[in-house]
Amino acid sequence: MIKYDPGYMSLSDSAFREKKERADLLSLHCSLCPRRCGAGRLHGQAGACGAGKEPEVAHFQAHFGEEPPLSGKHGAGTIFFPHCSLHCAYCQNHQISRQSGVRYPLSAEQLGLIMVRLQEQGVHNIDLVSPTHFVPGIIAAVHAARDKGLRVPIVYNTNGYETADTLELLSGIVDVYLPDFKYADERTGLRYSGVADYAAYAKEAIEAMYKQAGDLLLDENGFAQKGLLVRHLVLPGYTQESMNIIDFLKERLGTAIGLSVMSQYAPCYRAHEFAELNRKLCVAEYDEVVEHVQEAGFTQCWIQELESNAVYFPDFGCSAVFGNDLSR
């Protein structure tokens, strides 16, 4: 039987405090993400991502729409943070990432209490969605929550646009890294997400995550305890780029990482501004990517059904954000 205690259980109080201090320093003239926009976050100045001084939460719930090792039987304990370092034209969470949806400012202690409350609901993990710009508050929140009885793994659910310095602060705190790997070509990242260096940062970040967390480790029930699970959303017309991403992962990290291939792309937000993105995936292009993934031989791989592109679209203005099936 595999028994793994979350890394934060063995982190000393002084190590937590030191990480928080270093994270605060990074946000003084903010360089928490590769944009390094220099915003004086500690003095309340909002950054290019939109985040200010205090952590904010847009929504939290037990979520049943994540990959099976995360949602399990009782759901992933998702905490959705507003704002984002990327400006993706097709963002499914645009109501909270780019627009002025509901946001609740809160202290690190209150954020820690949300984590404990989710655990009391029986979730398998704490799934931090778009967390990077709030890393200082998250470090303090996990510290506070650990002291209040938090015992489930921490999942870092990120767009993949990360710096080595910020990831290093998360060593010993994050158990499961869940990064997107959106683009292998810088031109695609610039066109759709507004940054010219996504691929370089994402590759470096995903390798650093792997060094910290290793292959995906599941417990005897198949629930994620530790490791790396990479997500890739296939975009219409970009099958070759998808296959380049698969090849990179296999060559650099091997085939025992977790891999989630997603078909849920559907045009939303500003996608209509790009004619090539203004359609869903077609069967032939998704099949081509799936075949490539299967030939690569990943041993822990989840492949979404093509029909799922309507199911996973959130509406953060609705009480059941993911509909009744995924928000039980």
Binding residues for ligand SF4, per CB under 6 A? Answer: 30-33, 35-37, 39, 41, 47-49, 51, 85, 132-133
Tokens at residue 122, please?
A: 């029986």
The least distance separating ligand SF4 from the CB of residue 159, rounded to whole angstroms, comes to 11
The least distance separating ligand SF4 from the CB of residue 144, rounded to whole angstroms, comes to 22
For ligand SF4, the closer CB: 39 or 58:
39
The least distance separating ligand SF4 from the CB of residue 39, rounded to whole angstroms, comes to 4
What distance in Å separates the CA atoms of residue 123 and residue 116, rounded to the nearest whole number?
Answer: 10
The least distance separating ligand SF4 from the CB of residue 197, rounded to whole angstroms, comes to 13
- Select the residue whose beta carbon is closest to ligand SF4 and give its number: 47
For ligand SF4, the closer CB: 71 or 159:
159
For ligand SF4, the closer CB: 39 or 199:
39
For ligand SF4, the closer CB: 38 or 149:
38
Amino acid at 83: H
The least distance separating ligand SF4 from the CB of residue 84, rounded to whole angstroms, comes to 9
What distance in Å separates the CA atoms of residue 138 and residue 186, rounded to the nearest whole number?
Answer: 30
What separation in angstroms does the CA of 183 have from each of 187, 245, 246? 9, 7, 11
Tokens at residue 25, please?
A: 């320093």
The least distance separating ligand SF4 from the CB of residue 314, rounded to whole angstroms, comes to 22
For ligand SF4, the closer CB: 6 or 52:
52
Q: Which long-range contacts (CB under 8 A, 24 or more apart) does 250-255 make?
A: 250/296, 250/297, 250/298, 252/203, 252/207, 253/206, 253/207, 253/210, 253/228, 254/215, 255/296, 255/297, 255/298, 255/299
What distance in Å separates the CA atoms of residue 143 and residue 156, rounded to the nearest whole number?
Answer: 16
- Sole residue written with tokens 């009744």: 324
Alpha-carbon dihedral angle through residues 61, 59, 78, 163, given to the nearest 10 degrees: 180
Mark residue 10 as left, alpha or beta (left: phi above 0; alpha: psi -120 to 50; beta: remaining).
alpha
What distance in Å separates the CA atoms of residue 55 and residue 107, rounded to the nearest whole number?
Answer: 7
For ligand SF4, the closer CB: 48 or 152:
48
For ligand SF4, the closer CB: 47 or 112:
47
Within 47-131, strands assigned E span: 56-57, 59-63, 76-80, 104-105, 126-129
The least distance separating ligand SF4 from the CB of residue 204, rounded to whole angstroms, comes to 16
